[in-house]
Amino acid sequence: MSTDELTLAIDAAAELIAGAKHVVALVGAGISAESGIPTFRGPDGLWTKHGEPDLRDYERFAADPKGWWEKRISGAGGLGELIAALEAAEPNAGHIALREMEEGGWLAHIITQNIDNLHQRAGSVHITEIHGNRTKLRCIACGNRWPLDEFPIDELPPHCPDCSGIVKGDTVMFGEPIPKDALDSCVDQTWKCDLMLLIGTSAVVYPAAQFPLDVRRLGGKLIEINPHETPLSGLAEVVVRAGSGEALSRIVARLREIRPR
Ligand code: NAD
Ligand code: ZN
């Protein structure tokens, strides 16, 4: 995309956002790449470099929750590179622009597949986390959540103070069902939305991949913000081929010109 084409795409995206009633952002790992957190897919993705992970995580947790917790506490296993990056990460211009869009009344809700807590740290308020949040724990029976540092762990596995269910990290594992409250909220937002922004997601992971298709089916529009092509590119009204930091900050700047706060 040339400089002129990019400017035209940014203007077109801002016009669509300014004219929409209920805008929802569907966000993937790409937005946090500029915070130093590697994505899984794509040229520099962890899976591209190290191979696909074992998809039986949740099965193994369910068979031996105590063993899973012992491993977690000892720091063994897992993607060390990803964990180190998550711990060092700060919100970037893309996260901040989404918070500014919400404050300006241009963005109603964020559906994120990320677990990194960076939307919250940037100050966004209306957020649904499909894959959980790495700074929380969750009861697998009743779904209650607690911040990690507020939950005393005096037995392994820990049990829920409300229902005695087993407590695990809130991050959704491979093979684990998406928590019902999160899924319900995504469906609700998909139905309400007349414009969905697809930001830094390759849109191949279900259920997230389904929401943009539903938005289209219900008569809504899509804008894609991603430096690379995805399976949804052809369905988008406007495609902004740039990193999310630059693209979103420029869209916010344009929105302020079109409709000042
Ligand atoms: P994904 O399938 O959504 O792919 C990442 C996308 O980001 C790709 O389409 C890529 O082109 C795009 N991208 C790369 N750099 C970008 C930039 N600067 N701006 C905008 N887009 C950019 O995600 P995945 O990596 O395959 O991850 C699969 C699952 O694991 C998802 O649920 C994902 O959110 C999760 N995950 C989360 C984190 C995190 O919490 N930060 C990190 C890795 C993976
Ligand atoms: Zn419980």
Show me where the domains of the chain are located: 3-50+90-134+177-258
**Residue 17: its pLDDT value, please?**
98
Nearest-atom index, ligand 1, CA of 200? 21
Q: How far is the CA of 233 from the centre of ligand 1 (A)?
A: 15
**Residue 239: its pLDDT value, please?**
98
Give the list of residues 6+ apart from residue 228 with CB closer than 8 angstroms, or none: 42, 202, 241
Ligand 1 lined by 118 (C-beta under 6 Å):
no
**Residue 77: its pLDDT value, please?**
56
Q: How far is the CA of 159 from the centre of ligand 2 (A)?
A: 8
Nearest CA to ligand 1 atom 11: 228
CATH of 3-50+90-134+177-258, one of 3.30.1300.10, 3.30.70.520, 3.40.50.1220, 3.20.20.80: 3.40.50.1220
Q: What is the Cβ-side half-sphere exposure of residue 156, based on CA atoms within 13 angstroms?
A: 12
**Residue 81: its pLDDT value, please?**
77
Q: How far is the CA of 24 from the centre of ligand 2 (A)?
A: 30
Ligand 1 lined by 129 (C-beta under 6 Å):
no
Determine the number of helices (DSSP H) and then strands (DSSP E) in the chain: 11, 9
The closest ligand to the CA of 137 turns out to be 2
Q: How far is the CA of 257 from the centre of ligand 1 (A)?
A: 30
Ligand 1 lined by 132 (C-beta under 6 Å):
no
**Residue 73: its pLDDT value, please?**
82
Sign of CA dihedral 211, 217, 223, 229: positive
- The residues that are catalytic are 131
The closest ligand to the CA of 44 turns out to be 1
Ligand 1 lined by 45 (C-beta under 6 Å):
yes
**Residue 184: its pLDDT value, please?**
97
- Give the DSSP letter of residue 159: B
Distance, CA of 219 to CA of 206 (rounded, Å): 21
Ligand 1 lined by 134 (C-beta under 6 Å):
no
Q: From the first residue on, what is the mean pLDDT of each consecutive set of 10 residues in the chain (261 residues)?
A: 94 98 97 93 77 81 93 70 90 98 98 97 98 96 95 94 96 93 97 98 88 97 96 97 98 93 60
**Residue 205: its pLDDT value, please?**
82
**Residue 261: its pLDDT value, please?**
60
Distance, CA of 258 to CA of 11 (rounded, Å): 10
Percentages helix, strand, coil for the chain (3-state, rounded to 5) are 40, 15, 45
**Residue 78: its pLDDT value, please?**
53
The closest ligand to the CA of 145 turns out to be 2
